[in-house]
Structure 1
Amino acid sequence: MSERKLYSPRVIKEIIDEYGFAFSKSLGQNFLIDKNIIDKICDGAEIKESDQIIEVGPGIGTLTQELCKRARKVVAIEIDKNLYPILNDNLSSYDNFHLVQGDVLKIDLNTLISDYFDNDGEIKVVANLPYYITTPIIMKLLEEKIRVNKIVVMVQKEVALRMRAKPGTKDYGALSIAVQYYSKPQIIVNVPKNVFMPRPNVDSAVIMLNVYEKPIVKVEDEKFLFKIIKAAFGKRRKTLVNALNSSQLGIAKEDIISILNECNIDVKARAEDLSLDEFAKITNSILSK
């Protein structure tokens, strides 16, 4: 029996009928139906035979199937119990496939890595992420400092633009800085709505995050850095002085002005004008007082 092409709309419809599956809007299920896009995701991730892959939200296994052909091991995390028999049946010919049942946001990823992967070869995250929880998943992958070299994911185009945005642009914000603190983002390909079943309401993009071994800026307290960033962008229409002064940081206005002068930052600057490096300087200056 020949292998089913899980990206084929005809095959997907067959599977839906065979297993009585229904798409879940609440889980943001949109399956890829374009082999070209699947190849671009895998090519962008530069998957080698020695690679070990974590996939989040495999769906019926459309992307998973290609990952299994290219990588040494693929561990897919899926929350929808209705998909377990579909995945196990249609990927049964791959002995390098492992299904982990559960919510990625509740799973200890460091434990998962130690349970399934060894120290040989790179570990990469490759996935078509559910859009409603894209940001929490990305931040979990980065903040938990798991042993991952590269993250290549399909996300809403708007989110991809925010992740790679530079200071002074309309897309630049707290997410931009957080992602760029841990990694170097690069959009691989823009993806139209018509390559999914069912078709989403938004355009998508595949973004690659090359994860740094260590963050590119040094701060004395990571949590405080992000507290500063959150406060600054929480009132982004205000100048940085007023945004930080009106937050819960407990820093007097004159002290903020003094710190900005010390860091050679314009006291009239707003959050979107500042680079990650400048936020790090402000953080370290406050902590040194």
Structure 2
Amino acid sequence: MKKLYSPKTVREIMDLYGFKFSKSLGQNFLVDKNFVDKIVDAADVKNQNVIEIGPGIGTISYEMAKLAKKVLVIEIDDSLIPILEENLGDFSNVKIIHQDVLKCDFNQLVEEEFGGEDFKVVSNLPYYITTPIIEKLIEGRSPSDMTIMVQKEVADRMLADENDKEYSSLSVFIKFYADAKKITNVPKSVFMPKPKIDSTVLRLSLRKYDEKVDRDRLFALVKAGFNKRRKTILNSLSDLYPKDTLSLAFEKVGINKRQRAENLSLDDYINLTNVLNSK
């Protein structure tokens, strides 16, 4: 049995393959069995189809492959492909996809590899493209749920409620599409190389959004509000609508026009969108 979470094993692999960590790809490998187990347990992958993004040397993939129906690992780094082929080669239910995840057609991939069946996503998301990946996964052929490790400060924003200082457009986006739950914090000391900040593992359970809501207009409002978050919501949205139109809409949905973007809940933004769309 391979112990890919062992620092000693990682160093041996690096020496054998001449591998070097890439800062530009945000590579930090998890080297603590307890946290590997927590992630796999939280993901609940037994007899499930799974996509892992950025598998590194296959540490989490290896453990999931023992349980899952099928595991697809998507890796952009050329130098990791032979390492993954070696480390995961004993599993017939694992397929390695050598591709940039942001250019990946998930609709096609899920249809071809899973026959259109439900799937899960598990990933230690690269810090530099965390939000674009989440948006791509949620807005495309959505998984049933995602177990992801992100920077702690990003996780705090994703979990934040209105009136919290961390509350942001990302908070609203996540609330619209998913129920988010914190699994555990992960200290920077359990990575190789050690990053500058701690991480957090989240479980996002995706849900069907309200088809009646104009999502483009909804998130245009949210983005405009938080782009000028120090201004009142009336002033921050005035580039999109006349102030008199906004004032009437605020009154109709019970929003104080002197509030700021971080004071409005997801329901507030949805109600405001619907009222403005009716004009």
**TM-score where L is the length of structure 1:** 0.94
Task: Please tell me whether residue 199 in structure 1 is matched to residue 197 in structure 2.
Answer: no
Task: Please tell me whether residue 236 in structure 1 is matched to residue 229 in structure 2.
Answer: yes
Task: Please tell me whether residue 93 in structure 1 is matched to residue 90 in structure 2.
Answer: yes
| Candidates 166, 171, 179, aligned match of 2:166 | 171
Deviation at residue 258 of structure 1 after TM alignment: 0.7
> Could you say if the C-alpha distance between residues 204 and 78 of structure 1 is closer, same or farther in structure 2, counting changes exceeding 3 Å?
same
Instruction: In structure 2, list runs of 5 or more residues that go unmatched.
Output: none
Secondary structure in 1 matching 2:101: coil
Matched with 2:185 is: 190
- Distance (whole Å) between structure 1 residues aligned to residue 222 and residue 87 of structure 2: 45
Deviation at residue 124 of structure 1 after TM alignment: 0.4
Please tell me the residue identity of whatever aligns with 1:152: T
Please tell me the residue identity of whatever aligns with 1:34: D
Task: Please tell me whether residue 180 in structure 1 is matched to residue 180 in structure 2.
Answer: no
1:173-212 Cα distance to aligned partner (Å, 9 max, x none):
1000001111001110000011100000010000010000
Q: How many residues align?
A: 279
Secondary structure in 2 matching 1:262: helix
Q: How does 1:99-248 map to 2 (within 5 A)?
A: 99-119=96-116, 122-144=118-140, 146-212=141-207, 214-215=208-209, 217=210, 219-245=212-238, 247=239
Please tell me the residue identity of whatever aligns with 2:145: K
Q: How does 1:29-48 map to 2 (within 5 A)?
A: 29-48=27-46
Task: Please tell me whether residue 288 in structure 1 is matched to residue 278 in structure 2.
Answer: yes
- Distance (whole Å) between structure 2 residues aligned to residue 232 and residue 128 of structure 1: 30
Contact 1:219/1:283, CA 8 A, preserved across alignment: no
- Distance (whole Å) between structure 2 residues aligned to residue 265 and residue 147 of structure 1: 32
Deviation at residue 118 of structure 1 after TM alignment: 2.9
Matched with 1:68 is: 65
Instruction: In structure 1, list runs of 5 or more residues that go unmatched.
Output: none
Deviation at residue 148 of structure 1 after TM alignment: 1.1
Please tell me the residue identity of whatever aligns with 1:161: D
1:263-286 Cα distance to aligned partner (Å, 9 max, x none):
111111110000111100110111
Secondary structure in 2 matching 1:154: strand
Deviation at residue 143 of structure 1 after TM alignment: 1.3
Please tell me the residue identity of whatever aligns with 1:224: R
Deviation at residue 119 of structure 1 after TM alignment: 4.9
1:23-76 Cα distance to aligned partner (Å, 9 max, x none):
00000000010111011011111222x200000000100111111011111000
- Distance (whole Å) between structure 1 residues aligned to residue 120 and residue 177 of structure 2: 15
Contact 1:152/1:206, CA 8 A, preserved across alignment: yes
Please tell me the residue identity of whatever aligns with 2:184: V
- Distance (whole Å) between structure 2 residues aligned to residue 127 and residue 270 of structure 1: 34
Matched with 2:254 is: 264
1:65-113 Cα distance to aligned partner (Å, 9 max, x none):
1110111110000000000000001111011110001100001111110
Please tell me the residue identity of whatever aligns with 2:59: T
Please tell me the residue identity of whatever aligns with 1:140: K
Deviation at residue 218 of structure 1 after TM alignment: 5.5
Please tell me the residue identity of whatever aligns with 2:65: C
Please tell me the residue identity of whatever aligns with 1:222: R
Contact 2:110/2:116, CA 8 A, preserved across alignment: no
- Distance (whole Å) between structure 2 residues aligned to residue 267 and residue 102 of structure 1: 47
- Distance (whole Å) between structure 2 residues aligned to residue 192 and residue 219 of structure 1: 42
- Distance (whole Å) between structure 2 residues aligned to residue 255 and residue 147 of structure 1: 36
- Distance (whole Å) between structure 1 residues aligned to residue 142 and residue 232 of structure 2: 38
